[in-house]
Amino acid sequence: MKPSVETPGTAGKPKALLQRVAEGGRKPVGFVLNGQPLTALAGDTVLTAVLTHSARLRFSEFSGEPRAGFCLMGACQDCWVATESGKRLRACGTFIEEGMRLVTGAEGLA
Ligand code: FES
């Protein structure tokens, strides 16, 4: 299984796809991504919460390539992730919740 925050060409250094540049004053929300405790901000979507820590949301079930959503508005179906219990979530249309436990590898969407 690939590490959740791996990005090709970064020599093992995690690189997030999204960077917060304008605000950070909202309440912190703790969640777990692939077993790693992380923090998002209240009002973040799951997509934002994950991509501020990772370069991808999931791997394509067809090509195996990393995916990070496409439309960001609930239309393309490219942002499915799962909870550790197996519930599927559309990351762009679901708000992060305290204690949410997410898996973004292909195994999470089996
Ligand atoms: S990014 Fe298109 S449905 Fe979520």
- Ligand 1: which atom is nearest the Cα of residue 80? 4
Q: Where are the alpha helices (DSSP H) in the chain?
A: 46-51
* Distance from the alpha carbon of residue 38 to the mean position of ligand 1, in angstroms: 22
Indicate yes or no: pTM above 0.95. no
| Cα–Cα distance for residue pair 13/99, rounded to 1 Å | 26
Which ligand 1 atom sits closest to the C-alpha of 77? Answer: 3
- 78 CB within 6 A, ligand 1: yes
Q: Domain extents for the chain?
A: 28-103
pLDDT in tens, 4-61: 444 444 455 558 999 999 877 899 999 999 999 999 999 999 999 999 999 999 988 8
Encode pLDDT of 67-99 as tens digits.
999 999 999 999 999 999 999 999 999 999 999
Q: What is the pLDDT of residue 29?
A: 97
Identify which has the larger pLDDT, 107 or 18.
18
CATH T-level fold of 28-103: Ubiquitin-like (UB roll) (3.10.20)
